[in-house]
C-alpha cells in the first residue's frame, strides 16, 4: 500500500482539485499565524510538492515523512532538508527548533495522537504555530480508512481537545471541503454496509472541466473561511500555537 500510495500522490498532487484546494486553505491559515523567513517543518510531506512550494515562498523547509522516498522527493524538489522518521515516535529534532509546522492528513495514521502533538509542541519555538488537517467524522470510517491504516477520523472539537491535551493553545478549529461531504456520506456508508474491501488506492477521477470547477469552488470556500466558519466538511483543521 505504502509505495503505491506515494506514487499516486506524486502523480496527482500538483493539479488535482483536492490537493490544490487544501494547499490554498493551509496557505491562508498559515499566513494568519506565521510568515517567512523561518524554519518550517512539514511532518508527512508525501510527494514533496507542497514542501517545495513553501521553500520557494521563503521558508527554510524541513520535509519529513515515514518513507525515505517521500523525504527524498521533497529534497530533490528544493526543500532544505529531507528527513525520514515515524511521526508516532520521538522526533529527531532539537527542542524549540522550528518556527512553524504543518501536519496534513497524518495524525489519523498515528495510534497515540496526543503523544505526536506533544512532540510537535516540543520542537516548536515559543509562540510558534502549527496547522493540522485530518479527515472528519468517525461515522464515515470506511474501507478507504482501513486500507490507508487510519486509526480514527475527527471532529473539529475532538481535534482541538487532542491539541490542548498536548499542551498547545488552539486558536481556531473548523472544517473545510464541504462540497465533498454529501457524496462521501453516500459512497462510504454504502461501502461499509456492503462490507466492501479496498484493493488499491486511487483518488476519484474527474474530467478536466469538473476538476477546474472544483478548484474554483475551493476559492469560494477559502473566501468563506476568511469571513466565517464552514459548518461541516470532509476534513477538519486546527490552528494551534505553543505558548510564548
Domain harbouring 119, CATH code? 3.40.50.150
DSSP-assigned letters across all residues of the chain: -HHHHHHHHHHHTTT-HHHHHHHHHHHHHHHHH--SSSEEEEES-TTSHHHHHHHHTT-EEEEEESSHHHHHHHHHHT-SEEEE--TTS--SS-TT-EEEEEEES-GGG-S-HHHHHHHHHHHEEEEEEEEEEEEB-GGG--HHHHHTT----B-HHHHHHHHHHTTPEEEEEEEE-GGGHHHHHHHHHHHHHTT----S--PPP--HHHHHHHHHHHHHHHHHHHHS--S--SEEEEEEE---
Residue 1: its pLDDT value, please? 44
Question: Which domain covers residue 39, as residue numbers?
Answer: 2-241
Q: pLDDT for 76-100, tens place per residue?
A: 999 999 999 999 999 999 999 999 9
Predicted confidence at residue 189, as pLDDT, reads: 75
pTM above 0.75, yes or no: yes
Q: Note the pLDDT tens digit of each residue in 7-43.
A: 677 778 999 999 999 999 999 999 999 999 999 999 9
* Total domains, the chain: 1
Amino acid at each position: 500500500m505504502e509505495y503505491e500510495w506515494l506514487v499516486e500522490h506524486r502523480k496527482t498532487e500538483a493539479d488535482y482539485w483536492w490537493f490544490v484546494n487544501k494547499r490554498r486553505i493551509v496557505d491562508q491559515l498559515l499566513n494568519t499565524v506565521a510568515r517567512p523567513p523561518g524554519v518550517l517543518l512539514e511532518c508527512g510531506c508525501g510527494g514533496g510538492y507542497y514542501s517545495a512550494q513553501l521553500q520557494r515562498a521563503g521558508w527554510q523547509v524541513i520535509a519529513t515523512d515515514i518513507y525515505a522516498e517521500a523525504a527524498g522527493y521533497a529534497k530533490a524538489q528544493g526543500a532544505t532538508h529531507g528527513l525520514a522518521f515515524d511521526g508516532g515516535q520521538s522526533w529527531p529534532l532539537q527542542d524549540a527548533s522550528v518556527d512553524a509546522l504543518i501536519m496534513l492528513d497524518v495524525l489519523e495514521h498515528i495510534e497515540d495522537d496526543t503523544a505526536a502533538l506533544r512532540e510537535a509542541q516540543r520542537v516548536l519555538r515559543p509562540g510558534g504555530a502549527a496547522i493540522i488537517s485530518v479527515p472528519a467524522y468517525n461515522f464515515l470510517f470506511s474501507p478507504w480508512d482501513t486500507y490507508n491504516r487510519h486509526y480514527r477520523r475527527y471532529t473539529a472539537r475532538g481535534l482541538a481537545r487532542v491539541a490542548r491535551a498536548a499542551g498547545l493553545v488552539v486558536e481556531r478549529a473548523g472544517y473545510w471541503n464541504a462540497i465533498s461531504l454529501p457524496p462521501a456520506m453516500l459512497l462510504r456508508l454504502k461501502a461499509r454496509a456492503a462490507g466492501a474491501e479496498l484493493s488499491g488506492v486511487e483518488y476519484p477521477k474527474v474530467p478536466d472541466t469538473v476538476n477546474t470547477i472544483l478548484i474554483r469552488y475551493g476559492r469560494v470556500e477559502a473566501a468563506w473561511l476568511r469571513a466565517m466558519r464552514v459548518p461541516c466538511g470532509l476534513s477538519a483543521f486546527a490552528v494551534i500555537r505553543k505558548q510564548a
